[in-house]
Amino acid sequence: MSWKRKIKNLQKKDNIMSVTTLSQVLKQGKEELKRSDIPKYALDAEVILSGVLSASREYLFVHPEKELSVQDRDVFFADIKKRKQGTPLAYIIGYKQFYGFDFYVNKEVLIPRPETELIIDSIAEHKRNPSVFTKNTALLDMGTGSGCLVVTSALKFNALVKEYFAVDICQKALKISYKNANKHNVSHCIKFLHGNLMEPIFFNIKEFLCYENLIITANLPYLTEEQYKKAPSIWKEPSFALLGGEYGLDLYKDFIHQLKLFKTRTNLSLALFLEIDPGQKNRVTGIINSEFPGCLLDFKKDIRGKTKIAIVRF
């Protein structure tokens, strides 16, 4: 390391050591994030400091002269460094809000997105539809990840659904989903199954024979390599939860094919709520119609008018 670099690092360390109050630390953190071109640098710094102190953002401004401990200050600037290096804010503070509920997240799971909330909205719109909800309805969340969909469904539709199932190929992700279910006091009504797509369902198929209807939610990986390469903001998230092959639909194609086999063995009425990329509407239509000709297929758009949710009933 050159002498100039060493001097610069020492000066930077001195600057950090000289700030001690909430307002000083927050100002320094915002300046560092701004220099690194973090878009919401002010908000991110506030959220990070709130997390370090386990306090609200309002607390930071009500007590600007409060002295920070050396430990809290060091943790804050360590987190600021992570954010500068591209680590998502949700991974730094350890949670992300989804449908008004806080969910634990870490690098093993995809960070819940606002557009995924459309799946919950879509299910809610079908609450009075007897082909979706009856007294004997179960819900299956495929590729559950953080568990945001299955846990929120259990919180919102518990009176309408007898039992919930959450499936993921990643055991570490299942641990996070269980942790979130436990956090929101719904772990007692959710069964967590480890395996690839419908495989664990086939192993437990007898459990589904007592139901009339099965609701399936799925936010499977649907990005192409090209889309992934153009989005550096997601590179810190698990790629296996994002990449879906050449056209982004490899897993959906396998899943729908397996679902056809499941349908022949159980004869349940199925309602699917799938998150997709807007450009995949035609291919998704082709995949579904090839396995379930004559099914009821609809699409739901997000607030930008782009197709995000495929709804299938058969």
Do 65 and 21 touch, CB atoms closer than 8 A? yes
The 8-class DSSP code of residue 292 comes to S
CB atoms near residue 42 (< 10 Å): 14
User: What residues contact residue 67 under an 8 Å CB cut-off, 6+ apart?
Assistant: 20, 21
CB atoms near residue 265 (< 10 Å): 11
CATH tag, 3-85? 1.10.8
Do 25 and 76 touch, CB atoms closer than 8 A? yes
Angle at 96 between CA 247 and CA 116, to 5 degrees: 40
pLDDT, residue 19, reads 73
What one-letter code names the amino acid at 26? L
Sequence spans of domains, the chain: 3-85, 107-313
Three-state DSSP class for residue 296? strand
**Could you tell me which of 241, 252, 240, 244 has the C-alpha nearest to residue 225?**
244
Angle at 124 between CA 254 and CA 110, to 5 degrees: 50
Cα–Cα dist 236/86, whole Å:
7
CATH 3.40.50.150 matches 107-313: yes
> Average pLDDT by consecutive 10-residue portion of the chain (314 residues)?
50 59 95 96 97 94 93 96 97 97 97 97 90 88 98 94 97 98 98 97 94 96 96 95 96 98 94 97 97 96 96 95
